[in-house]
Amino acid sequence: MTRQLALPFLLAALSLPALADSYSLPKNVAFEEECTSCHIAYPPQMLDARSWQHMMNGLANHFGTDASIDDRRRTAIADFLARNSGGRKTGRTVDAKGNPLLRITETARFERKHRDVTAATWKRASIKSPANCAACHAQAAAGDYSERSISIPK
Ligand code: HEC
Ligand code: HEC
C-alpha cells in the first residue's frame, strides 16, 4: 500500500468505534453524587479539558444555579473530567473567539448531529431544552446515544 493510501485507510479504521455513539461513563463516585442530581451525567468526552476546567471554576454560578461544592470534591471531579475529556471525537470545544464553551449543546459536533431537529421541537413542553438529552435519548443516563434508542416525544 502506498503512503497516500495508507493514511485515509488508517483514519477510517480509527473512527469506527465512533459509529456506535456510546460514551462509556467511567465510574466516579464524587461525579455521580455531585453532578447527576439536577440532570443526567453528561459524558466527560463531550467537552475538552479546558471547557471542564472553566465550568469547575465557576460552579457558584452554574447556568443560573448554585452548584458549588467543597474544594476537595471539586478538585477530584475536575481531575476526573480532565482525564476523560474529549479529544479526537469532540475536538476543541471553543467559540468563534477561542473561548471555552460550557455547553455541550453549543459545540459544533452537537449542532451537526442535531441539524434535523427543528427549533419548534426543542421548545416542546416534553423537551424544554436541548440539554434535556434523556427526553429523546432513552439511555442517555447510561451514555448510550445510539440511533436505536432515540425517540422524540410529542
Ligand atoms: C443545582 C443543580 C445542578 C447541579 C448540582 C449541577 N448542574 Fe449542571 N446544569 C444545571 C442546570 C440548571 C443546567 C442548564 C440546563 C438547561 O439549559 O436546560 C446545567 C447544565 C450543565 C451542562 C451543560 C448542558 C448543555 O447545555 O450542554 C453541563 C456540561 C453541566 N451542567 C455539568 C455539570 C457538572 C459537571 C456538575 C457537577 C460538578 C453539574 N453540572 C452539577 C444544574 C446543575
Ligand atoms: C429533541 C430530541 C433530542 C434531544 C433533547 C437531544 N437529542 Fe441527541 N439526537 C436526536 C436526534 C433526532 C438525533 C439524530 C439521529 C440521526 O439522525 O441519526 C440525535 C443524535 C445524537 C447523537 C449522535 C448519535 C448517532 O448515532 O450518530 C449524539 C451523540 C447525541 N444526539 C447526543 C445528545 C446529547 C449529549 C444531548 C443532550 C445534551 C442530546 N443529544 C439531546 C435527538 C435529541
Q: Is 138 a domain residue?
A: yes
Could you give the CA distance from residue 130 to residue 132 in angstroms, rounded to a whole number? 5
The answer to whether residue 5 sits within a structural domain is no
- Residue with more model confidence, 67 or 12: 67
Predicted local confidence at residue 13, as pLDDT: 46
Q: Cα(128)–Cα(23) distance, rounded to whole angstroms?
A: 23
Residue 10 has pLDDT above 60, yes or no: no
Q: How far is the CA of 57 from the centre of ligand 1 (A)?
A: 13
- Per the structure, the complete domain to which residue 44 belongs is given by 20-149
Q: Is residue 41 part of a domain?
A: yes
In this structure, is residue 8 part of a structural domain?
no
Closest CA to 22 of 151, 148, 152, 153: 148
Does the pTM exceed 0.85?
Answer: yes
For the chain, the domain total comes to: 1
- Residue 120 domain flag: yes
Pocket flag, ligand 1, residue 129 (CB < 6 Å): yes
